[in-house]
Amino acid sequence: MPDLATLPPGTAIRITGYLAESDYTAHLQRLGLVPGTQATIVRRAPLGNPMELRLRGFSLAMRPEEASALEFEVIST
């Protein structure tokens, strides 16, 4: 599976789950990152940290380390 931090802007993904359950993944779920949710990588900061995801009508900034908790499938690039 590719790393979310290495995918180019414009890539659409579907969240399929989490690599491990933790307080942090519970927080991501409260933000709307639940299995089945589609998101698009909008852009990255110049040094790659953070990245902007667009999902459910809002934008969410995530660090690559945080995004590594997500399991996903690529829908389109």
Cβ atoms of 41 and 11 within 8 Å: the answer is: yes
In the chain, what are the domains?
4-71 (2.30.30.90)
pLDDT reported for residue 73: 96
Q: Considering the entire predicted model, what is its pTM? A: 0.85
Q: State residue 1's pLDDT score.
A: 64
At residue 20, the pLDDT reads 82
- Residues with Cβ within 8 Å of 24's Cβ and at least 6 positions away in sequence, in order, are 66, 69
One-character DSSP codes across the chain: ---GGGSPTT-EEEEEEESS--HHHHHHHHTT--TT-EEEEEEE-TTS-SEEEEETTEEEEE-HHHHTTEEEEEEE-
pLDDT digits (tens), the chain, 77 positions = 678 888 999 999 999 999 888 888 888 899 889 999 999 999 998 887 899 999 999 999 998 888 888 999 999 87
